[in-house]
Amino acid sequence: MIKLSRGGTYLINGTKLVPDTSSAAQRIKELTGSAVTQQDAQKGTIAYSILKSHNHSGDTTQLKLKFDSLASHDLTFVGVIQTAKASGLERFPLPYVLTNCHNSLCAVGGTLNEDDHRFGLSAAKKYGGIFVPPHQSVIHSYMREMYASCGAMILGSDSHTRYGALGTMGIGEGGGELVKQLLEKTYDIDYPEVICVYLTGKPQPGVGPQDIALAIIGAVFNNGYVKNKVMEFVGPGVKTLSADYRNGIDIMTTETSCLSSIWKTDEAIEEYFICHKRPEAYRELDTGPVAWYYGLVEVDLSKIEPMIALPFHPANAYTIKALQANLKDILHQVELDAKELINPNMQVSLINKIVSGNLKVDQGVIAGCAGGIYENIIDAAEIIGMNSLGNDEFALSIYPASQPVMIELSKQGTMSRLMNAGVTIRTAFCGPCFGAGDVPANGQISIRNTTRNFPNREGSKPTAGQMACVALMDARSIAATAVNGGMLTPATELTGMKYKSPAFYFDKTVYDNRVYNGFKNAYPSEPLQYGPNIADWPEIGGLEYDILLGVASVITDPVTTTDELIPSGDASTYRSNPVKMAEFTLSRKDPAYVGEAKRYQDMENARVAGGEASDELKDVFKRITSIQGMQGVEYKTTGIGSLIYAIKPGDGSAREQAASCQRVLGGCANIAKEYATKRYRSNLINWGIIPFIMNDAPQFNVGEYIFIPCIRTAIMAGINEVNAFHIGESINKIALSIGDMTDDERRILIAGSLINFYK
């Protein structure tokens, strides 16, 4: 089904794979008639040509990228614009799309959400941006329809910024990286490794893009095979997939932890752009005669079966057949995972969902950038047909990803057929992906063609005793389950199904009538429209030469998601108020964190104000000065902050609040064994939080201190290995590393934040 190959691989003429062994050079010469070096073959990838055309460093090993357009939604754009404004923003120098697809409901927190939407429109007028009102489109559908083009690059403040199937390299990052682009700076990274994803065969009827995606995620996530790399989709199997189908796979590559994705393009993509009235956006993208890749993922599409990703990660993937064959054992393991990942006292019961030897689910959702695409809904409607969902507990909601998709489905009569069957149709909205729409009841299990099923993503509050579970599935098997009364059913079990897939006709009239397009037409005198909850960033100080870090939280889970660092849902209401938002930091993972972080922040505030050290700090500094060589350390010149330890933090969302909220509370550092994503590490740096690495297991506890001498000097000099001292019951030396950073990243840490650096 899926095979991973270690070591490099050559792709010859897009069809022949040659392992990079000692005989590779001879084999390539036989196939092509000429000798090719590995260095030259690296230039034969699609990714190389796109990265090279966007690079402004003059060095293809150290990239400084400028993007063609930017995208943010209403969970992130206020913070991005406020940060850019504080850093000297005068206008948007490139198309910047502000969508309103996350807090579209405006149902929590009074006027706060709609106040943010008004702020976004005023910013689009003032700085020359594009404003997509609520319910018109989810962010990635709009960018596919209106801005993706072959050979382009798009940067978005959402982790699922992926348009590779349309020939566009999309990267999801925290808001700080978008701020740099708005200030006409660059996105700086080492040239990424490129992995070949070689597709063969053709999917079985009833197998959808989410099935392919989950199979790939299950094969590559836990081993980090594509982490921070570019996935390049090639091979004869690509031609068997429609553009919509490719988009459905591509959007989920974020869950592999890759940096970006890109696909070869062909007539299916050309037809997509013709349909969307942008034929000029198409050009053929393909590998050169010889291309070299760091690794190889071989996917036989014909062997992929309907999949299900059980809680609490898209990588927890099984074929539905395998789950049904081992139902009790696998569900029991999920129950044990809940105790380990969420709360040892948490009672998650899935075994009681077994009815007559099958899993009975309570709810289905098809929504967002992964689920709400045209062909998914067409095929789901074909399966449901004239059947009834019944009037029992099982419910199904479908959210078309954009108004043009909704309009076309309505013209065809698809919407009325689904609604008559009992399906609830909703407008374009990302809520089900993060717990702001169709939240299941306590103890229920929901199957969803959405992007994630992390703990708490569906709206649970374990600390309040409220816990539901989400499993990811493809729209086709969700529809098959729906017509089977909620009994888990793979779509391939349906006999006699013929998927008609009527052509899609894109009509952008609704966008012409509702979307504000002010690019290149900025009105600097236009005032920004603030609401009571929209606040500026608080003042943040620079980095002192020595720092004393109070341990505010120690998390020993294998992975800590951004949803656990700063939960979505109700917390998101306050995303435009940094101080209020910070109150939710780690609230569902470590509720004591905020109080502990504030305790250290009070110490720093007192120090900066010239106050005396507390008795606790006097004792700590007395112990520090007893260390050989530390006699000159003084309280008045030592910065005090808090730190979080986690084994592997930052999996998931690009939201910068996972870092900025720590900083607002006085956080100065993370210590980790590794960082789950490049974007979380970048968020830390952009907010002045030092991303330390420590190989050993932590011996320190909450309430103890880590003293790091000469840290400012070490960062300025580019020294990556530093010595620190754990001030606990005894004093112990610990080794920390920072990892490679660009000159600008070091200067941002010294300044204390990206805002300070640019200001």
* Number of DSSP helices (H) and strands (E) in the chain, helices first: 28, 34
Full 3-state SS string of 256-324:
HCCCEEEECCCHHHHHHHHHCCCHHHCCCCCCCCEEEECEEEEEEHHHCCCEEECCCCCCCEEEHHHHH
**Residue 514: its H or E element:** helix 509-514
User: In whole numbers, what is the pLDDT of the chain averaged over residues?
Assistant: 92
Tokens 């073959």 belong to 41
At 650, phi and psi to the nearest 5?
100, 10
For 91-119, give one letter per residue: b (16+ CB within 10 A) or e.
Answer: ebbbbbbbbbbbbbebeebeebbbbbbbb
Q: Outline where 360-508 has alpha helix (H).
A: 368-371, 374-384, 403-412, 414-421, 431-434, 475-483
pLDDT at 334: 85
End-to-end CA distance of the chain: 53
Give the model confidence (pLDDT) of 3-27 as tens digits. 999 889 999 999 999 888 888 888 8
Token pair 């910065």: residue: 639
Partners of residue 396 on adjacent β-strands: 364
Chain centroid to CA 132: how far? 21
Q: What is the pLDDT of residues 181-193, one digit of tens each?
A: 999 999 999 999 9
Q: Residue 500: what pLDDT?
A: 81
569 has pLDDT over 70? no
Give the pLDDT confidence score for residue 33 in this predicted structure.
82
Q: What pLDDT score was predicted for residue 570?
A: 67
Query: Phi and psi at residue 55, in whole multiples of 5°?
Result: -90, 135
CA 263 to chain centre: 20
pTM: 0.92
Q: Residue 574, by phi and psi: left (phi above 0), alpha (psi -120 to 50) or beta?
A: alpha
Q: Across the beta sheet with 445-449, what order do the strands follow?
A: 317-319, 307-309, 469-472, 445-449, 363-366, 395-398, 424-425
Reply yes or no on whether the pLDDT at 108 is more than 90: no
Q: Is 178 left (phi over 0), alpha (psi -120 to 50) or beta?
A: alpha
Structure confidence by residue, pLDDT tens digits, 319-350? 999 999 999 999 888 888 887 777 777 777 88
Q: Which residues does 250 contact at the CB level (< 8 Å), separation at least 6?
A: 162, 163, 164, 165, 233, 261, 263
pLDDT of residue 296: 97
H/E element holding 190?
A: strand 187-190
In the chain the domains, ranked by start, together with CATH numbers, are 2-62+191-303 (3.40.1060.10), 65-188 (3.30.499.10), 307-505 (3.30.499.10), 546-758 (3.20.19.10)
The pLDDT-based confidence of 711 (bands split at 50, 70, 90) is very high
Over residues 165-194, mean pLDDT:
95
